[in-house]
Each structure stands twice: as structure tokens, then as C-alpha cells.
A and B are shown apart, each in its own frame.
Chain A
Amino acid sequence: MQKGIGPSVYSGGNKPDAGTNRLQAVAQGKDVSAEVHPKVLEETPVLEIDRFNLWYGSKQVIHNISMPIIRKQVTALIGPSGCGKSTLLRSVNRMNDLIQNIRITGDMRLNGDSIYDPRMDVINLRKRMGMVFQKPNPFPMSIFENVVYSLRIDGEKNRSVLDEVCEISLRGAALWDEVKDCLNDSALKLSGGQQQRLCIARAVAAEPEVLLLDEPCSALDPIATGKIEDLIQELRGQYSILMVTHNMQQASRASDYTAFIYLGRLIEYGPTSDIFTNPVLQETESYVTGRFG
């Protein structure tokens, strides 16, 4: 498989198809070309999604999506419920392997390594990524053990290494000051927002090449949501982040790039400021302003 993708893969041209509504076309099952802004293609990608299709049973959930995810930046996936954002995210670290009846074509590349290469060790691959889920899912163990879980499963026993990683990760997740005195308490005693930050600390403990956030705030109250968004701001520049969100404000506040996905197809992808203030497509504008979807 070729390394690197030329611009031609991503884009069907910059001009909007006047007179045809792409969303209607998509709903009718027609193929439409994605609108990828040239600014995206200028940056260096950490993850390249290359003509990716996914079927669940006989139903196609993701249609030929190709997009680069930019290194050390925050990329948000937006779109109405059931459009395949989460499925796409879970395809990145092959969590979908756990589900039966899944079939895929196309590929993704993490720093040039093919993710769907049959020779790829899935467990090793997942160690290179961190993932945070919709609902906080701390493990039933102490806060400390939660954070260093990925090191533990690698067999790390050196206490000073574990202590150091724990502190750095918890500081990174802006949780250190709140829990530094009770690291041996059960993680389940924390509040929902704290639990979610703990999950972020757990995800960044292994120095992931890309951090996947699957609607990380959807189960949280507004204050906890605000803290997580602040945290995402702090993590930008350190980590490459790919997040799914339902919240337009969150996408516009917290992300650098935004991709609009509809019914399993990439509609428009560009810098967040352009997508929210000056999108190429009429359809995107109507979605982000709430007139549709």
C-alpha cells in the first residue's frame, strides 16, 4: 500500500455543487465527494484514514471516508446521531474487532504503520493509542492502579517509575491536586467528572501517539464538562487528539479541525474556524447553526 496520500484522494474539488443538496443525495444513497479544505492537507498527519468502509452485517455504516488527522492538534468529528462518528473512532484502535459481523475495506495508517495490516498485533497497536469513553469507566481498583494500568499489564514493577508516571499523568489530567492524598482509595469513590479525568490520565499514561475521545462529556454536568474542555485545551500541542462530540459549542471551543460526517460519509473537513464561520458548503452551515440535524 502506498505511503502518504495525494490530495486527489481526499477531495472532489473545492467548488460546491450548485443546485444539488448533498445531504439529500446522501440520504438517497448516492455517493458524494467530500469537501476537504486545502489547509488540512498542508499539515503533517499523525493518522491517515484511507478510503475506509465498514459494514455491520449487510448494512454499510461508513462509506469511503478518507481524511488525515493532524499531529498535535485537536480534531473534532461532528454529525447527527448514528452517523458513524463513534464507529469511525472505534475503528482507529480496532475496538470494533470485539464485535462480530464486522467487515471493513480500506485502511488507516498510524505514523505510517498500517492499522489493518493482518500482521499488525492489535494489542500492541492499542498500546500506542489512548481512548476515553462516553461514560467514565474507572477500573474497580485504587486511583494509583487505575493510572498505571497500562504499565502494569506491560509488567512494569519498578515503584519509582510507576510513581513518576502516576504523578505526571494525573498532573496532565489536572487531577493531581484533588487526589494526591488519596491515591490508594478506590477510584469508584470519585465524582463523575473526576472519574472521567482519571480515565484521561489513564489514557495518557502510556504516552499515546493519538488520543481518542468518544463524547467524553456526554455523561457529565456542565461544570465537569467545562473542566474537561479546559483539559483538552491544555493537552493540545502535547497530544494528537481525535474526539467525537455532539455539542457544537464544544467542537467550536475545543478543537482546531472539524469534520462533518453525515450517514457514514464525510461531508466537509477543515479548520474549525472555517467550518463554523465560513464553511464551503451550505449544508455544513445549516448543520452547525442548528437549522438541520
Chain B
Amino acid sequence: MNSSRYQRQNVRSPFSSLMAHGEPWVWLMSGSLAVAVTMVIGLLLFITVRGSIHFWPRPLYEITLRNGEKYLGEVISRETQLKNISDDQTVHDRVLVRTVDFRTDSTRYTWFDKKNMSSIQRPQFATVIERFEGGRFHGFPVCLLKDGIPTTDSPEAAWQHYQEISPTIQKRFREANRIDKLRRGDLQKRLRNARLALFDARLKQGNNHPIVHKVKKEEEEISKEVAEISDLLDKKMAALRKANSLWKFEFKTVDGQSVIFPVEEIIQAWQPNNISLLGMSYVYGTRWWEFLSDNPREANSAGGVFPAICGTVSMTLIMALLVAPFGVLAALYLREYAADNSLTATIRIAINNLAGVPSIVYGAFGLGFFCYGAGGWIDENFFSASLLADNQPTFGTGGLLWASLTLALLTLPVVIVATEEALAAVPNSMREGSYACGGSKWQTIYRIVLPRALPGIMTGVILAMARAAGEVAPLMLVGVKKIALDLPIDTSFPFIHPEREFMHLAYLVYDIGFQSSNSQAAKPMVFTITLLLVTIIAVLNIAAIYLRSRLKRRYAVQEF
């Protein structure tokens, strides 16, 4: 037997054996994965840390400069700077301090050189005040005034008394604001609706038709009723405001100036140098709660983001509800019914390419097609009164529905591709089994194929939701506004208002981060909103993944 001819060479170069074993490739692969994981974890950590410390009360420092100027503020960062190498004093310590000027209602970030300071200390009673209007104030409590008469004699007593009365006053203040909003909002809406109904009747029936007279009567009744309710509410509000206006709080600034604020305008106050860890946690918690549950104030740079949370979540969910059936039906036809020819292949490529179209293009399309096209048509045919009387479009402008539809279009390719893959992954033996039992094609699809493909379809919808919740560019064109306090879902009939403009967290990030006048002041807010957005997307995804895993458990294939 001539074995030597086919005998393999035993001696190989070390390099070729290394490559053959694939060690370098394994290293390369694990290295790539490690880089990717590090970047993701690093980004998340960065956002989490920066976003979550924003509400933690920082100590207040009183800084006295050598020239006599005094400042009270939070130390944001410290650094050592090399200024001039030839100089003797090359090393240079400085601190970044956040101070506020209540006269101009502005927050300032200033660098102070250590060598210019004569002293830096943490005064015990330094107080931070969040005002309803005008932003923050840093100062020292002096006394609490009731009807202009001091009720306390020492700063401690004033502070203590304030904390006792503050909850009642805040409650009254909120109640008054609520009434104000109700009166302004709901009553105005009723008046407007009645007025539009009259206009509509005149438009359709002419001026002297009996229906017009009837509607006119109704309108008069409604305006009378509204006026009555308005009066009643006015009185109630005045009583609340009066009870609140008794109380004022006198403060002095760091340079000794006296300032008096009405107590009701103080949303929250704390003495960061004078509270325990528990107290700090309480302040932290209440500030987060305010952030999550309140309306924004001060051009979105303070207060809460509740409308934006509502807008983001409702838009994402409506988008998912729209895109899922639409995408699944399209994919079903493409995979199960359409003939397998070049036309189908072209359509498939086109759908894949749609995923690569810049999202702003979808925004422009949504604005042109949905808002102006479909919305304009709806307005002309159903809301003509509003359009003609007030020159105000109802559906013919950006809104929740149009934004959801635009994003549904944007994410449609994702759902179609995922569904097609899920359908293709259903084993043919299942289909054959159903056909053999006498099932028609539709029965087979609907009883066997779809349930089996459902987890895969869910994956597509999850990806679509993640994409849609983080999208900003198209939303700016089709309905997201800087401030829109009327929620798309509320307690006034018909409860869901798909035509309303809404706020969105991702847009808030853009708006606060890049459109505000004081970018330093906006930075922590940007991180906090980003953290919130990431958390909301994660929660939505986890809910969907949970649903999918339940489905999977039900339809899991066990191999033997």
C-alpha cells in the first residue's frame, strides 16, 4: 500500500497552525464584543449617574472674595489649572459655582480662583428655594410674616413654622391653579364649541332657519351657564388665594439684602447644610416626584415633564397598535400568498430600502400627506366651522394621530421583515399537518402559522417601538411642540384627542439642550430627561419581552 503519497505533512509553521485553530479570530471576536458591551454599559452608566444626581441636594457654600464680594452657591466642580509655566504660581486651583441672581431670575455658573477667595464655608441655615416663577433663590431665612406681622423671632423658628404651614398652603395653591385651569380650559372650550355650532348651523342652513334659532338659544344658555360657573369658581379661587396671601416669608441674600416671597410661590425649600441623610433622601424623592408628575415651568427648564411622558408613551403605544396589524398583514401576503417571482423580490428589496430612508423624509411626507392632505380633507368636511370661523385647523396640523401614523410608516419595514422571517421559520410540516386535516389555507395561517410566528412578530414590534420612542426629527414636523399642556388623553369628552399636539421627551432633550439660552443650566436637565426616556423605552420593551416569553413558552418546540 502506497501510503506516503497521501500522508499529510506533520511539520507545519507555527503561524499556519495558529490561524488554522482560529485563536486569533476568537480573540478578535471577543475583543469586538467586549468593546461593544463596554460602550453600551459606559453610556448607560454615564446617563444614569449624571441623570440621577441632578435632584440630590448639594451643599451651599458661602464664598467671600478678597475684594469683599460674597456669593452663595453650589460647587459643581473643582479643577487644577496650569496657567503660565514661566510664572511662579503655575498651579492654580479653581471651583465652578452655581449661583442665582433673583433680581434677573437667572442661574449663573462662575469659576472662582482659590487664590482670590478670602474664605469658603458652609453656613448652617443657607436655604435653597424653588419658586413657582422666577427660578431658584439662595439665601437665609429671617422670619415668617402673617399679614405683614412677624410671627417668629429666630431663623430656626421661622424655618420650622414654614415647614408646618407649607403643606396646607401648597394644597390650596394647587387647588387654585386647578380651578384656574379648569375655568380657562374647559369653560372656554364649551363656549367655543357652542359658538362653532352656531356658526356651523348658519353656514349650512342660512341665517333664518329655525334650527339656527334653536342653536343660537342653546349658545346663549351655555354662555350664561358658563358665566355663572365662572363666577362661582372665581369666588372659590379668590378665597383660596386670599387665605394664602396672608403668609409671606422674609429672606436675606448673602450680601444682606432683604427679600420677601409669598409662601405659596415657594414650591419647595430645603436647607442642604442642615439636613440629615434621610432629609436629603426626602428632598431627592419629592424633587423626582415633582419632575415626573408636574407640568413644566420656566420654558421647560424647571418643573416636571409629565405631559412629555404622557405624549411619548401614548404615541409609542398608538404607533405599535397601528404598525403591528398593518405590517403583519403585508408580510402575510408577501410570504404566504404572493407568487415567488421577480416582482415579489423587487418589493422585498424596496421594503428593506425603506428602512434606510432618513427619518426626516418621513416627517416631511407625514406633514404633507397626513397633516395637510388627510387632515385638511377631514377639516374641510367635518370641522369646517372651526376652520372658517377661527381660521384654526383641527386635524389639518400636526397631532398625536399623524405623528403615530408617520412613525408607523417609518417602522413598517422593521415589522414586515421580522414577520416575514418568523413566518418563514414556521416548519412546513406544521402547514402540511393542517392541510392534511382538511384545513384551508386561511385556516392554516390563522390557527397554526400565526400563533407559531407570534413571538417573532413581537420581536419586530419591540424593535419598532424602540426605534419610534427615540425618534425626534420627523416628530418636529408632525405634531410635537415645545409646550403642549393639554394631554392627548384626559377627562374631557371624548377623552382621547388624537388631533392634539403633544410633548415628547426626546424632543425636550433637543429643545432644552440646544435651544435654551443657558446651556450650562440646562445640562443636568438634559441628562435627567435622557435617563427618563431610556427608562421608559426599557420598561416598554421589558413589558413586550415578557409578553413574548409567555407566548414562546406556550408555543415552544421541544426537540428530542
Of A95, A140, A199, A206, most B-chain CB atoms within 10 Å: A140
Decide yes or no whether A236 CB sits under 8 A from chain B. Answer: no
From A17-25, A121-129, A282-290, give the one contacting chain B: A121-129
Restricting to A141-185, which residues have a CB under 8 Å from any CB of B?
A: 141, 149-150, 152-154
Chain B's closest residue to A128 (CB) is B438
Restricting to B505-560, which residues have a CB under 8 Å from any CB of A?
A: 554-558, 560
Pairwise interchain contact A202-B437, C-beta atoms closer than 8 A: yes
Decide yes or no whether B440 CB sits under 8 A from chain A. Answer: yes
Decide yes or no whether A133 CB sits under 8 A from chain B. Answer: yes
Chain B's closest residue to A221 (CB) is B560
Chain A's closest residue to B339 (CB) is A100
Decide yes or no whether B34 CB sits under 8 A from chain A. Answer: no
Decide yes or no whether A188 CB sits under 8 A from chain B. Answer: yes
Residues of B within 8 A of A150 (CB): 437-439
Complex Cα gap A137–B431 (Å): 9
Decide yes or no whether B19 CB sits under 8 A from chain A. Answer: no
Decide yes or no whether B430 CB sits under 8 A from chain A. Answer: yes
Decide yes or no whether A249 CB sits under 8 A from chain B. Answer: no
B434-459: CB near A (< 8 Å → 1, else 0) gives 11111110010001100110000000
With A140-B452, A140-B555, A152-B447 as contacts: A191 and B434 at CB distance below 8 Å: no
Chain A's closest residue to B454 (CB) is A140
Complex Cα gap A122–B499 (Å): 50
Decide yes or no whether A27 CB sits under 8 A from chain B. Answer: no
Chain B's closest residue to A224 (CB) is B560
Decide yes or no whether A130 CB sits under 8 A from chain B. Answer: yes
Residues of A within 8 A of B432 (CB): 95, 98, 133, 137
Complex Cα gap A139–B557 (Å): 10
How many residue pairs link A and B with beta carbons under 8 A? The number is: 76
Decide yes or no whether B429 CB sits under 8 A from chain A. Answer: yes
Of B440, B451, B556, B557, the residue contacting A141 (CB under 8 A) is B451
Of B433, B435, B555, the residue contacting A98 (CB under 8 A) is B435
Complex Cα gap A154–B556 (Å): 26
With A186-B554, A188-B558 as contacts: A153 and B447 at CB distance below 8 Å: yes
Decide yes or no whether B68 CB sits under 8 A from chain A. Answer: no
With A188-B558, A189-B558, A192-B560 as contacts: A139 and B435 at CB distance below 8 Å: no
Complex Cα gap A226–B436 (Å): 25
A104-127: CB near B (< 8 Å → 1, else 0) gives 000000000000000000011011
State the Cβ distance, B160 to closest chain A Cβ, in Å.
65
Pairwise interchain contact A126-B433, C-beta atoms closer than 8 A: no
Decide yes or no whether B427 CB sits under 8 A from chain A. Answer: yes
State the Cβ distance, A69 to closest chain B Cβ, in Å.
17
With A152-B447, A192-B560 as contacts: A140 and B435 at CB distance below 8 Å: no
Residues of B within 8 A of A93 (CB): 436
Decide yes or no whether A243 CB sits under 8 A from chain B. Answer: no
Pairwise interchain contact B436-A126, C-beta atoms closer than 8 A: yes
Pairwise interchain contact A126-B429, C-beta atoms closer than 8 A: no
Chain A's closest residue to B453 (CB) is A140
Residues of B within 8 A of A152 (CB): 447
With A95-B432, A126-B438, A153-B437 as contacts: A140 and B558 at CB distance below 8 Å: no
Of B429, B439, B555, the residue contacting A153 (CB under 8 A) is B439
Decide yes or no whether A131 CB sits under 8 A from chain B. Answer: yes
Of A98, A124, A137, A188, the residue contacting B429 (CB under 8 A) is A137
Complex Cα gap A129–B558 (Å): 28
Residues of B within 8 A of A131 (CB): 436
State the Cβ distance, B104 to closest chain A Cβ, in Å.
68
Pairwise interchain contact B438-A133, C-beta atoms closer than 8 A: no
State the Cβ distance, B175 to closest chain A Cβ, in Å.
54
Complex Cα gap A150–B440 (Å): 11
State the Cβ distance, B338 to closest chain A Cβ, in Å.
14
Pairwise interchain contact B436-A203, C-beta atoms closer than 8 A: yes
Residues of A within 8 A of B558 (CB): 188-189
Pairwise interchain contact B437-A126, C-beta atoms closer than 8 A: yes
Chain A's closest residue to B443 (CB) is A153
Decide yes or no whether A135 CB sits under 8 A from chain B. Answer: yes
Pairwise interchain contact B448-A133, C-beta atoms closer than 8 A: no
B411-437: CB near A (< 8 Å → 1, else 0) gives 000000000000000010110111111
Residues of B within 8 A of A191 (CB): 560
Complex Cα gap A192–B558 (Å): 9
State the Cβ distance, B428 to closest chain A Cβ, in Å.
9
Complex Cα gap A135–B557 (Å): 13
Of B437, B443, B556, the residue contacting A188 (CB under 8 A) is B556
Complex Cα gap A138–B429 (Å): 9
Residues of B within 8 A of A206 (CB): 437-438
Pairwise interchain contact A199-B433, C-beta atoms closer than 8 A: yes
Residues of B within 8 A of A127 (CB): 437-438
Chain B's closest residue to A94 (CB) is B435
Of A123, A124, A133, A154, the residue contacting B433 (CB under 8 A) is A133
A188-214: CB near B (< 8 Å → 1, else 0) gives 110110000001001100100000000
Residues of B within 8 A of A129 (CB): 436
State the Cβ distance, A95 to closest chain B Cβ, in Å.
6
With A152-B447, A153-B447 as contacts: A123 and B557 at CB distance below 8 Å: no
State the Cβ distance, B445 to closest chain A Cβ, in Å.
12
With A123-B438, A203-B436, A206-B438 as contacts: A135 and B429 at CB distance below 8 Å: yes
Of B436, B440, B451, the residue contacting A140 (CB under 8 A) is B451
B444-487: CB near A (< 8 Å → 1, else 0) gives 00011001100000000000000000000000000000000000
State the Cβ distance, A184 to closest chain B Cβ, in Å.
11
Complex Cα gap A137–B426 (Å): 11
Pairwise interchain contact B556-A153, C-beta atoms closer than 8 A: no
Complex Cα gap A224–B560 (Å): 13
Complex A-B: 8 CB contacts under 8 Å:
A139-B430, A139-B447, A140-B451, A149-B439, A150-B437, A188-B558, A202-B433, A206-B437
5 A-B pairs with the lowest CB-CB distances in the bound complex, closest first: A127-B438, A131-B436, A140-B555, A137-B429, A137-B433
Q: Which residues of B does A touch, CB under 8 Å?
A: 427, 429-430, 432-440, 443, 447-448, 451-452, 554-558, 560
Beyond A126-B437, A137-B429, A199-B433, 7 extra complex contacts between A and B, CB < 8 Å:
A95-B432, A95-B435, A123-B438, A129-B436, A131-B436, A133-B429, A149-B434
